[in-house]
A and B are shown apart, each in its own frame.
Chain A
Amino acid sequence: METEGAGKGERTALLLLGCPEVPVQMGIALYLAGRLEKDGVRVTMAGNPSVIQLARVSDPDRHYVKKVMNLEKAMADLIERRIHPDLVVAFAHNDAGIAYAATVRHVFPSRLCLIIFGREAEELAKLAEFDCEKIVERAVHNPGQLKKKIDGVFGWAASRS
Protein backbone atom coordinates (compact mmCIF):
# COMPACT_ATOMS: atom_id res chain seq x y z
CA MET A 1 0.00 0.00 0.00
CA GLU A 2 1.66 3.19 -1.06
CA THR A 3 0.96 5.05 2.11
CA GLU A 4 2.95 6.84 4.73
CA GLY A 5 5.13 4.43 6.67
CA ALA A 6 5.15 1.60 4.12
CA GLY A 7 8.53 0.97 2.52
CA LYS A 8 9.01 0.08 -1.12
CA GLY A 9 8.35 -3.57 -1.80
CA GLU A 10 6.81 -4.04 1.62
CA ARG A 11 3.62 -6.13 1.70
CA THR A 12 0.66 -4.28 3.09
CA ALA A 13 -2.82 -5.12 4.32
CA LEU A 14 -5.86 -3.01 5.06
CA LEU A 15 -8.37 -4.27 7.63
CA LEU A 16 -11.80 -2.70 7.17
CA LEU A 17 -13.85 -3.05 10.32
CA GLY A 18 -17.58 -2.63 10.63
CA CYS A 19 -19.66 -1.43 13.55
CA PRO A 20 -17.92 -2.64 16.74
CA GLU A 21 -21.12 -3.87 18.42
CA VAL A 22 -20.26 -7.57 18.00
CA PRO A 23 -17.51 -8.49 20.50
CA VAL A 24 -15.53 -10.95 18.36
CA GLN A 25 -14.67 -8.33 15.76
CA MET A 26 -12.05 -6.41 17.73
CA GLY A 27 -10.43 -9.55 19.15
CA ILE A 28 -10.16 -11.13 15.71
CA ALA A 29 -8.94 -7.87 14.13
CA LEU A 30 -6.17 -7.51 16.74
CA TYR A 31 -5.22 -11.16 16.28
CA LEU A 32 -5.14 -10.80 12.50
CA ALA A 33 -3.14 -7.59 12.68
CA GLY A 34 -0.59 -9.17 15.03
CA ARG A 35 -0.19 -12.31 12.91
CA LEU A 36 0.12 -10.41 9.67
CA GLU A 37 2.72 -8.05 11.18
CA LYS A 38 4.63 -11.12 12.40
CA ASP A 39 4.59 -12.35 8.80
CA GLY A 40 6.14 -9.07 7.70
CA VAL A 41 2.96 -7.44 6.44
CA ARG A 42 2.37 -3.77 7.33
CA VAL A 43 -1.19 -3.50 8.57
CA THR A 44 -3.52 -0.53 8.61
CA MET A 45 -6.77 -0.88 10.55
CA ALA A 46 -9.68 1.24 9.33
CA GLY A 47 -12.94 1.84 11.12
CA ASN A 48 -15.29 4.41 12.51
CA PRO A 49 -14.14 6.55 15.48
CA SER A 50 -15.32 3.91 18.00
CA VAL A 51 -13.31 1.18 16.28
CA ILE A 52 -10.22 3.37 16.29
CA GLN A 53 -10.66 4.16 19.99
CA LEU A 54 -11.14 0.46 20.78
CA ALA A 55 -7.94 -0.39 18.92
CA ARG A 56 -5.93 2.33 20.63
CA VAL A 57 -7.24 1.53 24.12
CA SER A 58 -6.81 -2.25 23.65
CA ASP A 59 -3.31 -1.88 22.26
CA PRO A 60 -1.84 1.27 23.85
CA ASP A 61 1.75 0.37 23.04
CA ARG A 62 0.85 -0.45 19.45
CA HIS A 63 2.14 -4.01 19.55
CA TYR A 64 -0.55 -5.23 17.16
CA VAL A 65 -1.92 -2.19 15.36
CA LYS A 66 0.70 0.20 14.10
CA LYS A 67 -1.54 2.38 12.01
CA VAL A 68 -5.22 3.29 12.09
CA MET A 69 -7.34 5.15 9.59
CA ASN A 70 -10.85 6.52 9.37
CA LEU A 71 -13.10 4.12 7.46
CA GLU A 72 -14.48 6.75 5.12
CA LYS A 73 -10.99 8.01 4.29
CA ALA A 74 -9.86 4.43 3.61
CA MET A 75 -12.82 3.86 1.28
CA ALA A 76 -12.19 7.16 -0.51
CA ASP A 77 -8.51 6.26 -0.94
CA LEU A 78 -9.37 2.81 -2.33
CA ILE A 79 -12.01 4.19 -4.68
CA GLU A 80 -9.69 6.93 -5.94
CA ARG A 81 -6.80 4.44 -6.19
CA ARG A 82 -4.60 6.46 -3.83
CA ILE A 83 -3.70 3.32 -1.89
CA HIS A 84 -2.86 -0.12 -3.26
CA PRO A 85 -2.68 -2.70 -0.49
CA ASP A 86 -1.78 -6.29 -1.32
CA LEU A 87 -4.64 -7.56 0.79
CA VAL A 88 -7.91 -6.16 2.07
CA VAL A 89 -9.73 -7.95 4.88
CA ALA A 90 -13.30 -6.73 5.30
CA PHE A 91 -15.39 -7.54 8.37
CA ALA A 92 -19.17 -7.86 8.03
CA HIS A 93 -21.85 -8.75 10.53
CA ASN A 94 -24.65 -6.72 8.95
CA ASP A 95 -26.00 -5.60 5.59
CA ALA A 96 -23.81 -2.48 5.63
CA GLY A 97 -20.67 -4.58 6.05
CA ILE A 98 -21.52 -6.56 2.92
CA ALA A 99 -22.17 -3.29 1.04
CA TYR A 100 -18.72 -2.01 2.02
CA ALA A 101 -17.08 -5.25 0.92
CA ALA A 102 -18.96 -5.19 -2.40
CA THR A 103 -17.71 -1.67 -3.01
CA VAL A 104 -14.15 -2.74 -2.24
CA ARG A 105 -14.49 -5.64 -4.68
CA HIS A 106 -15.64 -3.28 -7.39
CA VAL A 107 -12.65 -0.94 -7.11
CA PHE A 108 -9.91 -3.20 -5.77
CA PRO A 109 -8.47 -5.91 -8.04
CA SER A 110 -6.23 -7.81 -5.60
CA ARG A 111 -6.89 -10.26 -2.77
CA LEU A 112 -10.06 -9.57 -0.80
CA CYS A 113 -10.92 -11.67 2.22
CA LEU A 114 -14.37 -11.20 3.71
CA ILE A 115 -14.95 -12.28 7.32
CA ILE A 116 -18.68 -12.71 7.94
CA PHE A 117 -19.67 -13.25 11.55
CA GLY A 118 -22.48 -12.61 14.00
CA ARG A 119 -25.87 -14.25 14.51
CA GLU A 120 -26.91 -13.86 10.86
CA ALA A 121 -23.61 -14.90 9.31
CA GLU A 122 -25.01 -17.59 7.00
CA GLU A 123 -27.82 -15.38 5.67
CA LEU A 124 -25.42 -12.49 5.10
CA ALA A 125 -22.98 -14.75 3.28
CA LYS A 126 -25.65 -15.40 0.65
CA LEU A 127 -25.63 -11.68 -0.21
CA ALA A 128 -21.91 -11.71 -0.88
CA GLU A 129 -22.07 -13.15 -4.39
CA PHE A 130 -19.00 -11.25 -5.57
CA ASP A 131 -15.54 -12.75 -5.95
CA CYS A 132 -13.69 -12.94 -2.61
CA GLU A 133 -12.43 -15.42 -0.04
CA LYS A 134 -15.25 -15.82 2.44
CA ILE A 135 -14.76 -16.92 6.03
CA VAL A 136 -18.18 -17.46 7.60
CA GLU A 137 -18.82 -18.28 11.25
CA ARG A 138 -21.81 -17.58 13.49
CA ALA A 139 -19.52 -16.09 16.14
CA VAL A 140 -20.73 -13.38 18.48
CA HIS A 141 -18.85 -13.60 21.79
CA ASN A 142 -16.45 -16.49 21.34
CA PRO A 143 -13.86 -16.03 18.58
CA GLY A 144 -12.43 -19.58 18.81
CA GLN A 145 -14.04 -21.19 15.76
CA LEU A 146 -13.61 -18.06 13.67
CA LYS A 147 -9.92 -17.91 14.57
CA LYS A 148 -9.52 -21.54 13.48
CA LYS A 149 -11.03 -20.78 10.09
CA ILE A 150 -8.84 -17.71 9.69
CA ASP A 151 -5.77 -19.73 10.61
CA GLY A 152 -6.71 -22.20 7.87
CA VAL A 153 -7.13 -19.53 5.21
CA PHE A 154 -3.92 -17.68 6.10
CA GLY A 155 -1.79 -20.80 6.57
CA TRP A 156 -1.38 -20.45 10.35
CA ALA A 157 -3.29 -23.62 11.21
CA ALA A 158 -0.22 -25.55 12.35
CA SER A 159 0.88 -22.78 14.73
CA ARG A 160 0.02 -22.91 18.42
CA SER A 161 0.19 -19.14 18.89
Chain B
Amino acid sequence: MGCIEELKYEVVLSQASFKECREYVKEHFAERYEVEPGFRIFESYIIGLPPIFVGVEGDMVVFPYTKPCHGTFLLRIESPEEVGRLRSMKQKKR
Protein backbone atom coordinates (compact mmCIF):
# COMPACT_ATOMS: atom_id res chain seq x y z
CA MET B 1 0.00 0.00 0.00
CA GLY B 2 2.96 2.24 -0.51
CA CYS B 3 1.15 4.03 -3.30
CA ILE B 4 -1.09 5.95 -0.90
CA GLU B 5 1.90 7.20 1.05
CA GLU B 6 3.28 8.71 -2.13
CA LEU B 7 0.08 10.68 -2.75
CA LYS B 8 -0.69 14.11 -1.37
CA TYR B 9 -2.90 13.30 1.60
CA GLU B 10 -4.25 14.99 4.68
CA VAL B 11 -4.58 13.09 7.95
CA VAL B 12 -8.04 13.61 9.41
CA LEU B 13 -7.63 11.15 12.30
CA SER B 14 -4.35 9.63 13.40
CA GLN B 15 -3.65 6.25 15.06
CA ALA B 16 -7.32 5.77 15.82
CA SER B 17 -9.37 2.64 16.19
CA PHE B 18 -11.28 1.38 13.21
CA LYS B 19 -14.54 2.16 14.97
CA GLU B 20 -13.51 5.77 15.65
CA CYS B 21 -12.79 6.28 11.95
CA ARG B 22 -16.13 4.75 10.98
CA GLU B 23 -18.03 6.96 13.43
CA TYR B 24 -16.19 10.06 12.24
CA VAL B 25 -17.18 9.44 8.62
CA LYS B 26 -20.78 8.77 9.66
CA GLU B 27 -20.96 11.96 11.70
CA HIS B 28 -19.16 14.34 9.36
CA PHE B 29 -20.01 13.27 5.83
CA ALA B 30 -23.54 13.41 4.49
CA GLU B 31 -22.26 11.83 1.30
CA ARG B 32 -20.76 8.49 2.18
CA TYR B 33 -20.61 5.05 0.65
CA GLU B 34 -20.48 1.67 2.27
CA VAL B 35 -17.76 -0.54 0.82
CA GLU B 36 -16.61 -4.09 1.44
CA PRO B 37 -13.39 -5.04 3.24
CA GLY B 38 -10.71 -5.25 0.57
CA PHE B 39 -12.31 -2.47 -1.50
CA ARG B 40 -9.72 -1.17 -3.95
CA ILE B 41 -8.92 2.51 -3.70
CA PHE B 42 -5.84 4.39 -4.94
CA GLU B 43 -4.23 1.11 -6.06
CA SER B 44 -4.57 -0.10 -2.48
CA TYR B 45 -7.11 -2.10 -0.45
CA ILE B 46 -9.20 -1.00 2.49
CA ILE B 47 -8.51 -3.15 5.55
CA GLY B 48 -11.29 -3.13 8.09
CA LEU B 49 -14.29 -4.42 9.94
CA PRO B 50 -17.62 -3.97 8.19
CA PRO B 51 -19.47 -1.72 7.86
CA ILE B 52 -16.80 0.42 6.23
CA PHE B 53 -17.70 3.94 5.14
CA VAL B 54 -15.91 6.15 2.66
CA GLY B 55 -16.82 9.83 2.80
CA VAL B 56 -16.99 12.21 -0.14
CA GLU B 57 -16.81 15.98 -0.01
CA GLY B 58 -16.55 17.69 -3.40
CA ASP B 59 -13.55 16.09 -5.09
CA MET B 60 -12.15 14.78 -1.81
CA VAL B 61 -12.31 11.15 -0.69
CA VAL B 62 -12.05 10.35 3.03
CA PHE B 63 -11.27 6.75 3.87
CA PRO B 64 -9.67 4.53 6.56
CA TYR B 65 -6.11 3.37 6.06
CA THR B 66 -4.85 0.71 8.47
CA LYS B 67 -1.23 -0.01 9.36
CA PRO B 68 -0.27 -3.00 11.57
CA CYS B 69 1.75 -0.99 14.10
CA HIS B 70 0.00 2.38 14.04
CA GLY B 71 -3.71 1.62 13.93
CA THR B 72 -6.09 3.24 11.51
CA PHE B 73 -5.70 6.66 9.95
CA LEU B 74 -8.52 8.53 8.31
CA LEU B 75 -7.06 10.11 5.17
CA ARG B 76 -8.40 12.78 2.85
CA ILE B 77 -7.16 12.76 -0.74
CA GLU B 78 -8.35 14.81 -3.69
CA SER B 79 -9.35 12.58 -6.57
CA PRO B 80 -12.21 13.35 -8.95
CA GLU B 81 -11.60 9.90 -10.46
CA GLU B 82 -12.15 8.01 -7.20
CA VAL B 83 -15.12 10.23 -6.32
CA GLY B 84 -16.65 9.45 -9.72
CA ARG B 85 -16.05 5.74 -9.21
CA LEU B 86 -17.71 5.80 -5.79
CA ARG B 87 -20.70 7.75 -7.08
CA SER B 88 -21.15 5.32 -9.94
CA MET B 89 -21.30 2.32 -7.64
CA LYS B 90 -24.62 0.62 -7.21
CA GLN B 91 -24.19 0.71 -3.45
CA LYS B 92 -26.51 3.31 -2.02
CA LYS B 93 -25.42 5.99 0.38
CA ARG B 94 -25.93 4.96 3.99
Binding site for B on A (CB under 8 A): 17-19, 21, 47-48, 71-72, 75-76, 79, 94-100, 102-103, 105-107, 127, 130
Contacts of A107 in B (CB 8 A): 37-38
| Distance between A53 CB and nearest chain B CB, rounded to angstroms | 14
Asked if B50 contacts A79 (CB within 8 A), the reply is: no
Asked if A106 contacts B36 (CB within 8 A), the reply is: yes
Number of chain B interface residues as a range:
20 to 34
Contacts of A127 in B (CB 8 A): 49
Known contacts: A75-B47, A79-B45, A106-B37. The answer to whether A100 contacts B68 by CB under 8 A is yes
Q: Is the interface of A mostly helix, strand, loop or mixed?
A: helix
Asked if A19 contacts B69 (CB within 8 A), the reply is: yes
Asked if B68 contacts A95 (CB within 8 A), the reply is: no
Instruction: Report the nearest B residue to A128, measured CB to CB.
Output: B49
Asked if B45 contacts A76 (CB within 8 A), the reply is: yes
Known contacts: A103-B37, A106-B36. The answer to whether A96 contacts B49 by CB under 8 A is no
Contacts of B72 in A (CB 8 A): 95-96, 99
Which residue of the partner chain, among B49, B67, B69, B71, contacts A102 with CB atoms under 8 Å?
B49
| Bound-complex Cα distance A14 to B17 (A) | 25
Contacts of A98 in B (CB 8 A): 18, 49
Instruction: Report the nearest B residue to A73, measured CB to CB.
Output: B1
Asked if B66 contacts A99 (CB within 8 A), the reply is: yes
